[in-house]
Amino acid sequence: MFTQTIVRTPSRTLAEGITSAPDLGKPDYEKALVQHNAYIDTLKACGVAVEVLAADERYPDACFVEDVAVCTPAFAMVTSPGAPTRMGEEEVITGVLKKYYNAIEHIQAPGTLEGGDVMMVGHHYYIGLSERTNRAGADQLIAALVKYGMTGSVVEMNEMLHLKTGLAYLEDNILLVAGEFTDKAEFKDFRRIEIPEAEGYAANCIRVNDHVIVPEGYPETRAKIEAAGLNVLTCDTSEFKKLDGGLSCLSLRF
Ligand code: CIR
């Protein structure tokens, strides 16, 4: 069960955020705010408290708060973003996390790690080796997990931005898989739900207690999740998609 979430209001500079899909156009700030508020309401509908951090105008991508920390039941790991324009975003999160955690660890240089590359499956954490997360960062997280009685392992990846760009663990052994993760050996024992290529963006869903939040506009993905017996809520994330961001990226959940 999650009880708490943390989100950060989008910056006015949102349109300057990193994107691999400039063809989708620039995000509209006002529309992003409306979508962000709806996202907060949807989290609350799942029974969690939401701490809303003020926008940090220094960082266009700061609303993707998932990337600056990994929140486990025993400790929080403050990360070290791998994208140059996001370095420093992690500094303010330590003070916020102190309200919720006695034990806070930090990824140290030359390690880099972004929370979007970390997928929690019970007490095991899969860590994607992406362009943002390097081996040193992953090893530091695994060492910390072991120290607190948990485990971690790395996942090689070549195409996606983050591990959770193409994977979402929905509990009950159910795993959404897309793109390069569809046939990965390490995930073969999960009850896998394959996301069709045309709906690839919808692989980034989040299970929050009794609901799965799914991006709006992906009917096949929604139908497959409902067919697995799960309750679905949807959120329109069109403006965040323009910056390669999805539902998981917009919150820390613990
Ligand atoms: C970035 O490239 O860092 C942002 N534009 C998107 C971050 C998405 N975060 C995530 O998948 N956890």
List of domains in the chain: 4-253 (3.75.10.10)
Q: Whose CA is nearest to atom 8 of ligand 1?
A: 245
Per-residue pLDDT reduced to its tens digit, 24-72: 999 999 999 999 999 999 999 999 999 999 999 999 999 999 999 999 9
Is 89's C-beta closer than 6 angstroms to any atom of ligand 1?
no
Q: Whose CA is nearest to atom 1 of ligand 1?
A: 18
Which ligand 1 atom minimizes the distance to the CA of 243?
Answer: 5
What local confidence, expressed as pLDDT, does residue 123 receive?
Answer: 98
0.85 surpassed by pTM: yes
Considering the chain, what is the average pLDDT of its residues? Answer: 98
What local confidence, expressed as pLDDT, does residue 190 receive?
Answer: 98
What local confidence, expressed as pLDDT, does residue 176 receive?
Answer: 98
What local confidence, expressed as pLDDT, does residue 252 receive?
Answer: 98
Active site residue 249: yes
What local confidence, expressed as pLDDT, does residue 63 receive?
Answer: 98
What local confidence, expressed as pLDDT, does residue 192 receive?
Answer: 98
What local confidence, expressed as pLDDT, does residue 170 receive?
Answer: 98
Confidence of residue 153 (pLDDT cuts 50, 70, 90): very high
3-state SS, one letter per residue, for the chain:
CCCEEEEECCCCCHHHCCCCCHHHCCCCHHHHHHHHHHHHHHHHHCCCEEEEECCCCCCCCCCCHHHHEEECCCCEEECECCCHHHCCCCCCHHHHHCCCCCCEEECCCCCCECHHHEEEECCEEEEEECCCCCHHHHHHHHHHHHHCCCEEEEEECCCCCCHHHCEEECCCCEEEECHHHCCCHHHCCCEEEECCHHHHHHHCCEEECCEEEEECCCHHHHHHHHHCCCEEEEECCHHHHCCCCCCHHHCEEC
Is 117's C-beta closer than 6 angstroms to any atom of ligand 1?
no
What local confidence, expressed as pLDDT, does residue 115 receive?
Answer: 98
Which ligand 1 atom minimizes the distance to the CA of 164?
Answer: 11
Per-residue pLDDT reduced to its tens digit, 163-199: 999 999 999 999 999 999 999 999 999 999 999 999 9
Per-residue pLDDT reduced to its tens digit, 99-149: 999 999 999 999 999 999 999 999 999 999 999 999 999 999 999 999 999
What local confidence, expressed as pLDDT, does residue 242 receive?
Answer: 98
